[in-house]
A and B are shown apart, each in its own frame.
Chain A
Amino acid sequence: MLFNSISFAFFYVIVTLLYYIFPHKNRWFLLLAASCYFYMAFVPIYILILAFTIVIDYIAGIYIEKAQGKQRKLLLIISLIANIGVLAVFKYYNFINDNITFLAEGLNLHNNIPYLKMLLPIGLSFHTFQAMSYTIEVYRGNQKAERHFGIYSLYVMFYPQLVAGPIERPQNILAQMHAKHEFSYVNMVEGFKQMAWGFFKKLVVADRLSIYVDTVFPNPELHNGSTVVISAVFFAIQIYCDFSGYSDIAIGAARTMGFNLMTNFRIPYFSTTISEFWSKWHISLSTWFRDYLYIPLGGSRVSIQRTYLNLFIVFMISGLWHGASWNFIIWGFLHGVYQVVGLVLKPLFSRFESHLNSLILNFWFFIKGLGVFCLVTFAWIFFRANTIHDAFLMIKNLRSFGERPFLGNGINQFGHCLIAIAMLFTIEYFMAFKPQVKLFSNPNSFVRWASIVGLLFIILIFGVFNGGQFIYFQF
Protein backbone atom coordinates (compact mmCIF):
# COMPACT_ATOMS: atom_id res chain seq x y z
CA MET A 1 0.00 0.00 0.00
CA LEU A 2 1.51 3.28 -1.09
CA PHE A 3 1.33 6.39 1.06
CA ASN A 4 0.40 8.36 -2.07
CA SER A 5 -2.79 6.39 -2.72
CA ILE A 6 -6.44 6.80 -1.83
CA SER A 7 -6.35 3.30 -0.30
CA PHE A 8 -3.80 4.55 2.22
CA ALA A 9 -5.95 7.58 3.04
CA PHE A 10 -8.81 5.25 4.02
CA PHE A 11 -6.46 2.90 5.84
CA TYR A 12 -4.79 5.71 7.78
CA VAL A 13 -8.04 7.35 8.91
CA ILE A 14 -9.57 4.05 10.03
CA VAL A 15 -6.46 2.85 11.89
CA THR A 16 -5.88 6.18 13.63
CA LEU A 17 -9.50 6.48 14.72
CA LEU A 18 -9.57 2.90 16.00
CA TYR A 19 -6.27 3.48 17.77
CA TYR A 20 -7.82 6.10 20.01
CA ILE A 21 -11.06 4.15 20.42
CA PHE A 22 -9.29 0.93 21.46
CA PRO A 23 -8.31 0.53 25.13
CA HIS A 24 -4.58 0.91 25.69
CA LYS A 25 -4.00 -2.78 26.45
CA ASN A 26 -5.32 -3.80 22.99
CA ARG A 27 -3.69 -1.11 20.90
CA TRP A 28 -0.60 -3.16 20.15
CA PHE A 29 -2.84 -5.78 18.58
CA LEU A 30 -4.64 -3.22 16.43
CA LEU A 31 -1.38 -1.72 15.19
CA LEU A 32 0.15 -5.12 14.55
CA ALA A 33 -2.89 -6.30 12.59
CA ALA A 34 -2.93 -3.04 10.63
CA SER A 35 0.80 -3.35 9.93
CA CYS A 36 0.36 -6.93 8.68
CA TYR A 37 -2.45 -5.77 6.39
CA PHE A 38 -0.32 -2.84 5.18
CA TYR A 39 2.63 -5.12 4.37
CA MET A 40 0.51 -7.86 2.82
CA ALA A 41 -0.98 -5.33 0.40
CA PHE A 42 2.33 -5.68 -1.51
CA VAL A 43 3.16 -9.41 -1.72
CA PRO A 44 1.25 -11.32 1.01
CA ILE A 45 3.51 -14.38 1.17
CA TYR A 46 6.55 -12.32 2.12
CA ILE A 47 5.11 -11.76 5.55
CA LEU A 48 6.50 -15.20 6.32
CA ILE A 49 10.03 -13.85 5.89
CA LEU A 50 9.27 -11.14 8.42
CA ALA A 51 7.74 -13.72 10.75
CA PHE A 52 10.91 -15.82 10.50
CA THR A 53 13.25 -12.98 11.51
CA ILE A 54 10.85 -11.78 14.20
CA VAL A 55 10.71 -15.21 15.88
CA ILE A 56 14.49 -15.70 15.66
CA ASP A 57 15.31 -12.25 17.05
CA TYR A 58 12.64 -12.39 19.75
CA ILE A 59 14.01 -15.67 21.10
CA ALA A 60 17.62 -14.55 20.57
CA GLY A 61 16.97 -11.35 22.53
CA ILE A 62 15.67 -13.23 25.57
CA TYR A 63 18.46 -15.79 25.55
CA ILE A 64 21.19 -13.19 24.93
CA GLU A 65 20.02 -11.35 28.00
CA LYS A 66 20.11 -14.51 30.11
CA ALA A 67 23.38 -15.89 28.74
CA GLN A 68 26.90 -15.09 29.85
CA GLY A 69 30.33 -14.88 28.18
CA LYS A 70 30.90 -16.72 24.92
CA GLN A 71 27.40 -18.12 24.81
CA ARG A 72 26.03 -14.58 24.70
CA LYS A 73 28.22 -13.76 21.71
CA LEU A 74 27.30 -17.02 20.00
CA LEU A 75 23.59 -16.24 20.29
CA LEU A 76 24.14 -12.77 18.85
CA ILE A 77 26.08 -14.26 15.95
CA ILE A 78 23.28 -16.79 15.29
CA SER A 79 20.74 -13.97 15.25
CA LEU A 80 22.87 -11.81 12.95
CA ILE A 81 23.54 -14.72 10.59
CA ALA A 82 19.81 -15.42 10.39
CA ASN A 83 19.08 -11.78 9.51
CA ILE A 84 21.97 -11.37 7.10
CA GLY A 85 21.16 -14.82 5.68
CA VAL A 86 17.67 -13.66 4.74
CA LEU A 87 19.16 -10.60 3.07
CA ALA A 88 21.78 -12.73 1.33
CA VAL A 89 19.21 -15.11 -0.11
CA PHE A 90 16.58 -12.65 -1.19
CA LYS A 91 18.71 -9.68 -2.12
CA TYR A 92 22.22 -10.80 -2.98
CA TYR A 93 21.95 -14.41 -4.18
CA ASN A 94 21.40 -13.58 -7.86
CA PHE A 95 24.01 -10.83 -7.76
CA ILE A 96 26.61 -13.21 -6.36
CA ASN A 97 25.57 -15.80 -8.92
CA ASP A 98 25.95 -13.23 -11.71
CA ASN A 99 29.49 -12.52 -10.63
CA ILE A 100 30.33 -16.21 -10.34
CA THR A 101 29.04 -16.69 -13.89
CA PHE A 102 31.15 -13.76 -15.07
CA LEU A 103 34.28 -15.17 -13.42
CA ALA A 104 33.54 -18.69 -14.65
CA GLU A 105 33.16 -17.45 -18.23
CA GLY A 106 36.53 -15.71 -17.89
CA LEU A 107 38.03 -19.10 -16.99
CA ASN A 108 36.10 -20.91 -19.75
CA LEU A 109 33.98 -22.68 -17.15
CA HIS A 110 30.23 -23.08 -16.91
CA ASN A 111 28.27 -21.97 -13.85
CA ASN A 112 25.42 -24.38 -13.13
CA ILE A 113 24.12 -22.66 -10.02
CA PRO A 114 20.44 -21.88 -10.69
CA TYR A 115 19.01 -18.38 -10.39
CA LEU A 116 16.16 -17.53 -8.02
CA LYS A 117 13.13 -16.11 -9.76
CA MET A 118 11.40 -13.92 -7.19
CA LEU A 119 10.66 -10.33 -6.36
CA LEU A 120 12.70 -8.65 -3.65
CA PRO A 121 10.53 -8.34 -0.53
CA ILE A 122 9.62 -4.69 -0.06
CA GLY A 123 11.70 -2.82 2.51
CA LEU A 124 13.71 -5.94 3.42
CA SER A 125 16.92 -4.05 4.20
CA PHE A 126 15.07 -1.59 6.43
CA HIS A 127 13.31 -3.99 8.75
CA THR A 128 16.28 -6.38 8.79
CA PHE A 129 18.55 -3.57 10.00
CA GLN A 130 15.99 -2.52 12.58
CA ALA A 131 15.73 -6.10 13.82
CA MET A 132 19.54 -6.38 13.98
CA SER A 133 19.84 -3.21 16.03
CA TYR A 134 17.57 -4.82 18.64
CA THR A 135 19.70 -7.92 19.26
CA ILE A 136 22.92 -5.85 19.17
CA GLU A 137 21.56 -3.42 21.75
CA VAL A 138 20.38 -6.29 23.98
CA TYR A 139 23.84 -7.85 23.64
CA ARG A 140 25.48 -4.56 24.58
CA GLY A 141 23.21 -4.26 27.59
CA ASN A 142 21.65 -1.01 26.39
CA GLN A 143 18.20 -2.56 25.96
CA LYS A 144 16.25 -5.07 28.00
CA ALA A 145 14.96 -8.04 26.02
CA GLU A 146 11.32 -7.57 25.10
CA ARG A 147 9.12 -10.27 26.67
CA HIS A 148 5.89 -9.31 24.94
CA PHE A 149 5.98 -11.08 21.58
CA GLY A 150 3.26 -8.84 20.12
CA ILE A 151 5.08 -5.65 21.09
CA TYR A 152 8.35 -7.00 19.73
CA SER A 153 6.64 -7.92 16.44
CA LEU A 154 5.22 -4.41 16.30
CA TYR A 155 8.72 -2.98 16.85
CA VAL A 156 9.80 -4.64 13.59
CA MET A 157 6.52 -4.15 11.74
CA PHE A 158 5.18 -0.73 12.81
CA TYR A 159 3.48 0.24 9.56
CA PRO A 160 4.58 3.88 9.13
CA GLN A 161 8.26 2.95 9.03
CA LEU A 162 8.07 -0.72 8.00
CA VAL A 163 9.06 -0.45 4.35
CA ALA A 164 11.35 2.58 4.15
CA GLY A 165 12.35 3.62 7.64
CA PRO A 166 13.40 5.62 9.56
CA ILE A 167 15.39 2.64 10.89
CA GLU A 168 14.57 2.94 14.56
CA ARG A 169 16.55 1.90 17.63
CA PRO A 170 14.84 -0.18 20.32
CA GLN A 171 15.72 2.37 23.02
CA ASN A 172 13.62 4.99 21.26
CA ILE A 173 10.62 3.08 20.03
CA LEU A 174 10.04 0.01 22.23
CA ALA A 175 9.33 2.08 25.32
CA GLN A 176 6.87 4.16 23.30
CA MET A 177 5.05 0.99 22.28
CA HIS A 178 4.40 0.18 25.92
CA ALA A 179 3.43 3.73 26.86
CA LYS A 180 -0.15 4.89 26.84
CA HIS A 181 -0.63 7.70 24.33
CA GLU A 182 -3.43 10.08 25.17
CA PHE A 183 -5.08 11.96 22.34
CA SER A 184 -3.08 15.14 21.86
CA TYR A 185 -4.22 18.12 19.81
CA VAL A 186 -0.62 19.20 19.27
CA ASN A 187 0.48 15.75 18.08
CA MET A 188 -2.46 15.53 15.67
CA VAL A 189 -1.88 18.95 14.15
CA GLU A 190 1.92 18.71 13.98
CA GLY A 191 1.64 15.19 12.55
CA PHE A 192 -0.76 16.35 9.83
CA LYS A 193 1.50 19.26 8.95
CA GLN A 194 4.50 16.99 8.57
CA MET A 195 2.46 14.58 6.45
CA ALA A 196 1.30 17.46 4.23
CA TRP A 197 4.89 18.60 3.77
CA GLY A 198 5.86 15.03 2.88
CA PHE A 199 3.05 14.81 0.33
CA PHE A 200 4.21 18.10 -1.20
CA LYS A 201 7.74 16.72 -1.61
CA LYS A 202 6.51 13.44 -3.06
CA LEU A 203 3.64 14.56 -5.29
CA VAL A 204 4.68 18.04 -6.38
CA VAL A 205 8.44 17.59 -6.65
CA ALA A 206 9.56 13.95 -6.77
CA ASP A 207 6.85 12.53 -9.00
CA ARG A 208 6.99 15.54 -11.33
CA LEU A 209 10.75 15.26 -11.79
CA SER A 210 10.49 11.50 -12.22
CA ILE A 211 8.60 11.98 -15.50
CA TYR A 212 11.67 13.65 -17.00
CA VAL A 213 14.22 11.44 -15.25
CA ASP A 214 12.45 8.23 -16.26
CA THR A 215 12.52 9.34 -19.89
CA VAL A 216 16.25 10.07 -19.95
CA PHE A 217 17.97 7.48 -17.75
CA PRO A 218 16.70 4.32 -19.48
CA ASN A 219 17.86 5.60 -22.89
CA PRO A 220 21.23 7.32 -22.36
CA GLU A 221 22.19 6.68 -26.00
CA LEU A 222 19.50 9.15 -27.08
CA HIS A 223 20.55 12.13 -24.94
CA ASN A 224 23.28 14.77 -25.07
CA GLY A 225 25.40 16.24 -22.27
CA SER A 226 23.01 19.07 -21.44
CA THR A 227 20.17 16.58 -20.98
CA VAL A 228 22.38 14.34 -18.85
CA VAL A 229 23.21 17.27 -16.54
CA ILE A 230 19.55 18.27 -16.22
CA SER A 231 18.39 14.71 -15.61
CA ALA A 232 21.12 14.10 -13.00
CA VAL A 233 20.21 17.30 -11.13
CA PHE A 234 16.53 16.41 -11.38
CA PHE A 235 17.24 12.93 -10.04
CA ALA A 236 19.24 14.35 -7.13
CA ILE A 237 16.22 16.43 -6.15
CA GLN A 238 13.75 13.67 -6.98
CA ILE A 239 15.39 11.08 -4.73
CA TYR A 240 15.68 13.58 -1.90
CA CYS A 241 12.00 14.53 -2.11
CA ASP A 242 10.87 10.96 -2.68
CA PHE A 243 12.73 9.56 0.30
CA SER A 244 12.49 12.47 2.73
CA GLY A 245 8.85 12.89 1.67
CA TYR A 246 8.24 9.27 2.67
CA SER A 247 10.01 9.87 5.99
CA ASP A 248 7.93 12.97 6.67
CA ILE A 249 4.68 11.10 5.98
CA ALA A 250 5.85 8.19 8.17
CA ILE A 251 6.97 10.44 11.03
CA GLY A 252 3.79 12.53 10.75
CA ALA A 253 1.49 9.49 10.68
CA ALA A 254 3.23 8.01 13.72
CA ARG A 255 3.09 11.38 15.51
CA THR A 256 -0.69 11.53 15.16
CA MET A 257 -0.79 8.34 17.24
CA GLY A 258 1.63 9.78 19.75
CA PHE A 259 4.82 8.08 18.52
CA ASN A 260 7.99 10.09 18.02
CA LEU A 261 10.15 8.58 15.27
CA MET A 262 13.69 9.82 14.69
CA THR A 263 14.41 12.62 12.23
CA ASN A 264 15.74 11.18 9.00
CA PHE A 265 16.65 14.28 6.92
CA ARG A 266 17.78 17.81 7.81
CA ILE A 267 17.82 19.76 4.52
CA PRO A 268 20.95 17.95 3.26
CA TYR A 269 21.45 19.86 0.00
CA PHE A 270 22.45 22.99 1.90
CA SER A 271 25.52 21.17 3.26
CA THR A 272 28.97 22.61 2.63
CA THR A 273 30.97 19.40 3.15
CA ILE A 274 30.31 15.76 2.29
CA SER A 275 30.51 14.72 5.93
CA GLU A 276 27.91 17.37 6.77
CA PHE A 277 25.75 16.00 3.92
CA TRP A 278 25.90 12.54 5.45
CA SER A 279 24.99 13.91 8.87
CA LYS A 280 21.78 15.25 7.30
CA TRP A 281 20.92 12.54 4.75
CA HIS A 282 19.18 9.30 5.74
CA ILE A 283 20.29 9.93 9.32
CA SER A 284 18.81 6.69 10.66
CA LEU A 285 20.98 4.61 8.28
CA SER A 286 24.12 6.77 8.66
CA THR A 287 23.96 6.50 12.43
CA TRP A 288 23.24 2.75 12.17
CA PHE A 289 26.44 2.27 10.19
CA ARG A 290 28.31 4.58 12.57
CA ASP A 291 27.16 2.72 15.69
CA TYR A 292 27.29 -0.86 14.45
CA LEU A 293 30.07 -0.85 11.86
CA TYR A 294 32.29 2.25 11.82
CA ILE A 295 32.89 2.48 15.58
CA PRO A 296 33.38 -1.31 16.04
CA LEU A 297 35.97 -1.12 13.22
CA GLY A 298 37.85 1.46 15.25
CA GLY A 299 36.18 4.57 13.84
CA SER A 300 38.54 7.54 13.87
CA ARG A 301 40.38 6.42 17.03
CA VAL A 302 42.92 4.49 14.97
CA SER A 303 45.71 5.48 12.58
CA ILE A 304 44.74 7.93 9.87
CA GLN A 305 45.19 5.27 7.16
CA ARG A 306 42.95 2.88 9.10
CA THR A 307 40.33 5.65 9.50
CA TYR A 308 40.32 6.11 5.74
CA LEU A 309 39.95 2.36 5.26
CA ASN A 310 37.10 2.28 7.78
CA LEU A 311 35.31 5.02 5.89
CA PHE A 312 35.74 3.14 2.62
CA ILE A 313 34.41 -0.08 4.14
CA VAL A 314 31.37 1.70 5.58
CA PHE A 315 30.48 3.44 2.32
CA MET A 316 31.06 0.38 0.16
CA ILE A 317 28.76 -1.63 2.44
CA SER A 318 26.29 1.25 2.46
CA GLY A 319 26.31 1.07 -1.34
CA LEU A 320 25.69 -2.66 -1.23
CA TRP A 321 22.91 -2.16 1.33
CA HIS A 322 21.08 -0.05 -1.24
CA GLY A 323 21.12 -2.65 -3.94
CA ALA A 324 22.75 -5.79 -5.26
CA SER A 325 24.56 -4.29 -8.20
CA TRP A 326 27.93 -2.82 -9.04
CA ASN A 327 26.24 0.54 -9.67
CA PHE A 328 25.53 0.90 -5.96
CA ILE A 329 29.01 -0.28 -5.00
CA ILE A 330 30.53 2.39 -7.26
CA TRP A 331 28.15 4.94 -5.74
CA GLY A 332 29.36 3.92 -2.27
CA PHE A 333 32.98 3.93 -3.43
CA LEU A 334 32.62 7.49 -4.75
CA HIS A 335 31.23 8.66 -1.43
CA GLY A 336 34.10 6.88 0.32
CA VAL A 337 36.54 8.81 -1.89
CA TYR A 338 34.69 12.08 -1.22
CA GLN A 339 34.87 11.47 2.53
CA VAL A 340 38.59 10.69 2.52
CA VAL A 341 39.43 13.65 0.28
CA GLY A 342 37.23 15.80 2.52
CA LEU A 343 39.18 14.69 5.59
CA VAL A 344 42.50 15.41 3.85
CA LEU A 345 41.38 18.87 2.75
CA LYS A 346 39.69 19.82 6.03
CA PRO A 347 42.74 21.44 7.71
CA LEU A 348 43.60 23.32 4.51
CA PHE A 349 40.06 24.65 4.18
CA SER A 350 39.94 25.61 7.87
CA ARG A 351 43.15 27.63 7.52
CA PHE A 352 41.90 29.27 4.34
CA GLU A 353 38.50 30.11 5.85
CA SER A 354 40.08 31.71 8.92
CA HIS A 355 41.54 34.41 6.62
CA LEU A 356 38.23 35.38 4.99
CA ASN A 357 35.94 38.19 6.06
CA SER A 358 32.28 37.35 6.66
CA LEU A 359 31.02 38.46 3.22
CA ILE A 360 33.60 36.46 1.29
CA LEU A 361 33.16 33.60 3.72
CA ASN A 362 29.45 33.42 2.89
CA PHE A 363 30.28 33.35 -0.81
CA TRP A 364 32.89 30.66 -0.16
CA PHE A 365 30.32 28.54 1.69
CA PHE A 366 27.95 29.00 -1.23
CA ILE A 367 30.65 27.74 -3.62
CA LYS A 368 31.42 24.82 -1.30
CA GLY A 369 27.71 23.99 -1.08
CA LEU A 370 27.48 24.02 -4.86
CA GLY A 371 30.55 21.79 -5.04
CA VAL A 372 29.02 19.30 -2.61
CA PHE A 373 25.79 19.27 -4.62
CA CYS A 374 27.73 18.62 -7.85
CA LEU A 375 29.74 15.77 -6.30
CA VAL A 376 26.65 14.14 -4.80
CA THR A 377 24.75 14.56 -8.07
CA PHE A 378 27.58 12.99 -10.05
CA ALA A 379 27.46 9.93 -7.78
CA TRP A 380 23.68 9.72 -8.21
CA ILE A 381 24.24 8.95 -11.92
CA PHE A 382 25.58 5.53 -10.91
CA PHE A 383 22.78 5.10 -8.40
CA ARG A 384 20.02 5.73 -10.94
CA ALA A 385 21.46 4.32 -14.19
CA ASN A 386 20.11 0.91 -15.13
CA THR A 387 23.59 -0.51 -15.72
CA ILE A 388 27.20 0.56 -15.26
CA HIS A 389 27.45 0.76 -19.04
CA ASP A 390 24.55 3.25 -19.09
CA ALA A 391 26.17 5.32 -16.32
CA PHE A 392 29.47 5.56 -18.19
CA LEU A 393 27.65 6.32 -21.43
CA MET A 394 25.90 9.22 -19.72
CA ILE A 395 29.21 10.50 -18.39
CA LYS A 396 30.72 10.14 -21.87
CA ASN A 397 27.79 12.12 -23.28
CA LEU A 398 28.75 15.03 -21.01
CA ARG A 399 31.22 15.97 -23.77
CA SER A 400 28.26 17.36 -25.71
CA PHE A 401 27.26 19.63 -22.83
CA GLY A 402 25.99 22.90 -24.30
CA GLU A 403 23.86 21.36 -27.03
CA ARG A 404 20.14 22.06 -26.90
CA PRO A 405 18.71 19.86 -24.13
CA PHE A 406 15.65 17.64 -24.30
CA LEU A 407 12.80 19.50 -22.60
CA GLY A 408 10.27 16.72 -22.27
CA ASN A 409 6.83 17.44 -23.67
CA GLY A 410 7.43 21.18 -23.69
CA ILE A 411 6.50 23.96 -21.32
CA ASN A 412 3.96 21.97 -19.33
CA GLN A 413 6.29 19.24 -18.19
CA PHE A 414 9.57 21.13 -17.90
CA GLY A 415 7.94 24.29 -16.55
CA HIS A 416 6.25 22.28 -13.80
CA CYS A 417 9.62 20.76 -12.87
CA LEU A 418 11.20 24.20 -12.51
CA ILE A 419 8.25 25.57 -10.51
CA ALA A 420 8.37 22.55 -8.18
CA ILE A 421 12.11 22.96 -7.58
CA ALA A 422 11.76 26.70 -7.00
CA MET A 423 8.99 26.17 -4.44
CA LEU A 424 10.96 23.46 -2.63
CA PHE A 425 14.20 25.39 -2.32
CA THR A 426 12.49 28.65 -1.39
CA ILE A 427 10.66 27.00 1.50
CA GLU A 428 13.73 25.02 2.55
CA TYR A 429 15.89 28.16 2.41
CA PHE A 430 13.61 29.80 4.94
CA MET A 431 13.57 26.64 7.07
CA ALA A 432 17.38 26.49 7.07
CA PHE A 433 18.46 30.13 7.21
CA LYS A 434 15.44 32.13 8.37
CA PRO A 435 13.77 29.89 10.93
CA GLN A 436 12.14 32.95 12.50
CA VAL A 437 9.92 33.21 9.38
CA LYS A 438 7.39 30.56 10.27
CA LEU A 439 4.58 29.71 7.91
CA PHE A 440 3.03 26.48 9.12
CA SER A 441 3.62 27.32 12.79
CA ASN A 442 3.08 31.06 12.63
CA PRO A 443 1.66 32.55 15.84
CA ASN A 444 -0.89 34.42 13.70
CA SER A 445 -3.66 31.88 13.13
CA PHE A 446 -4.70 33.41 9.78
CA VAL A 447 -1.16 33.08 8.36
CA ARG A 448 -0.87 29.57 9.81
CA TRP A 449 -4.18 28.34 8.41
CA ALA A 450 -3.69 30.10 5.07
CA SER A 451 -0.27 28.54 4.58
CA ILE A 452 -1.54 25.04 5.35
CA VAL A 453 -4.57 25.42 3.06
CA GLY A 454 -2.25 26.95 0.45
CA LEU A 455 0.11 23.98 0.67
CA LEU A 456 -2.76 21.53 0.17
CA PHE A 457 -4.00 23.38 -2.90
CA ILE A 458 -0.48 23.62 -4.32
CA ILE A 459 -0.45 19.82 -4.04
CA LEU A 460 -3.87 19.58 -5.70
CA ILE A 461 -2.98 21.94 -8.56
CA PHE A 462 0.66 21.03 -9.20
CA GLY A 463 0.95 17.51 -7.80
CA VAL A 464 1.31 14.38 -9.89
CA PHE A 465 -1.36 11.96 -8.80
CA ASN A 466 -1.13 8.32 -9.80
CA GLY A 467 2.64 8.60 -9.69
CA GLY A 468 4.91 5.70 -8.97
CA GLN A 469 5.97 4.02 -5.79
CA PHE A 470 8.70 5.30 -3.51
CA ILE A 471 12.23 4.68 -4.78
CA TYR A 472 13.51 3.33 -1.47
CA PHE A 473 10.87 0.57 -1.33
CA GLN A 474 13.13 -1.49 -3.57
CA PHE A 475 15.83 -1.56 -0.89
Chain B
Amino acid sequence: MSPGICPLAAMRVGECGRVQPVQADHPAVPRLLAMGLLPGTEVRMVQIAPLGDPVEIEFRGMRLSLRKADAAAVMVDLAENG
Protein backbone atom coordinates (compact mmCIF):
# COMPACT_ATOMS: atom_id res chain seq x y z
CA MET B 1 0.00 0.00 0.00
CA SER B 2 1.37 3.38 -0.89
CA PRO B 3 1.77 5.81 2.00
CA GLY B 4 -0.75 8.24 0.44
CA ILE B 5 -3.70 5.95 1.06
CA CYS B 6 -6.25 7.20 3.55
CA PRO B 7 -10.00 6.95 4.16
CA LEU B 8 -12.12 9.39 2.15
CA ALA B 9 -13.47 10.72 5.43
CA ALA B 10 -9.98 11.79 6.50
CA MET B 11 -9.25 13.96 3.43
CA ARG B 12 -8.66 17.65 4.05
CA VAL B 13 -10.62 20.36 2.25
CA GLY B 14 -9.25 20.90 -1.24
CA GLU B 15 -7.34 17.59 -1.39
CA CYS B 16 -7.81 15.28 -4.39
CA GLY B 17 -7.38 11.54 -4.55
CA ARG B 18 -8.14 8.43 -6.55
CA VAL B 19 -10.62 5.87 -5.21
CA GLN B 20 -9.15 2.47 -4.28
CA PRO B 21 -10.86 -0.92 -4.76
CA VAL B 22 -13.82 -1.06 -2.39
CA GLN B 23 -15.22 -3.59 0.06
CA ALA B 24 -18.94 -4.13 -0.39
CA ASP B 25 -19.94 -4.98 3.16
CA HIS B 26 -20.76 -1.34 3.90
CA PRO B 27 -24.37 -0.37 2.98
CA ALA B 28 -23.26 2.91 1.40
CA VAL B 29 -20.89 1.27 -1.07
CA PRO B 30 -23.42 -0.09 -3.63
CA ARG B 31 -25.03 3.35 -3.79
CA LEU B 32 -21.75 5.17 -4.16
CA LEU B 33 -20.78 2.75 -6.94
CA ALA B 34 -24.09 3.36 -8.73
CA MET B 35 -23.43 7.09 -8.53
CA GLY B 36 -20.12 6.51 -10.24
CA LEU B 37 -17.66 6.63 -7.35
CA LEU B 38 -15.67 3.70 -8.76
CA PRO B 39 -12.17 2.41 -8.12
CA GLY B 40 -10.00 4.81 -10.09
CA THR B 41 -12.44 7.75 -10.00
CA GLU B 42 -10.89 11.06 -9.02
CA VAL B 43 -12.51 12.68 -6.02
CA ARG B 44 -12.04 16.08 -4.36
CA MET B 45 -12.96 17.10 -0.83
CA VAL B 46 -15.02 20.27 -1.28
CA GLN B 47 -15.87 21.13 2.30
CA ILE B 48 -16.78 19.86 5.74
CA ALA B 49 -20.07 20.98 7.32
CA PRO B 50 -19.80 23.63 10.06
CA LEU B 51 -20.59 21.07 12.76
CA GLY B 52 -17.88 18.67 11.51
CA ASP B 53 -20.15 16.20 9.72
CA PRO B 54 -21.22 15.49 6.96
CA VAL B 55 -18.63 16.20 4.27
CA GLU B 56 -19.11 17.31 0.68
CA ILE B 57 -17.12 15.68 -2.11
CA GLU B 58 -16.94 16.21 -5.87
CA PHE B 59 -16.50 13.52 -8.52
CA ARG B 60 -17.57 13.15 -12.15
CA GLY B 61 -18.77 16.76 -12.11
CA MET B 62 -21.24 16.05 -9.34
CA ARG B 63 -21.20 17.18 -5.73
CA LEU B 64 -22.35 14.84 -3.02
CA SER B 65 -22.88 15.25 0.70
CA LEU B 66 -22.29 12.16 2.83
CA ARG B 67 -21.69 11.37 6.48
CA LYS B 68 -18.21 10.56 7.67
CA ALA B 69 -19.44 7.14 8.79
CA ASP B 70 -20.36 6.36 5.17
CA ALA B 71 -17.30 8.08 3.71
CA ALA B 72 -15.12 5.85 5.89
CA ALA B 73 -16.06 2.89 3.66
CA VAL B 74 -14.03 4.32 0.76
CA MET B 75 -10.23 4.53 0.66
CA VAL B 76 -8.45 7.04 -1.57
CA ASP B 77 -4.88 7.39 -2.80
CA LEU B 78 -3.70 10.96 -2.34
CA ALA B 79 -0.22 10.32 -3.75
CA GLU B 80 -1.21 10.12 -7.39
CA ASN B 81 -1.96 13.80 -7.83
CA GLY B 82 1.33 14.81 -6.23
A is bound by B: no
B binding-site residues for A, Cβ under 8 Å: none
A binding-site residues for B, Cβ under 8 Å: none
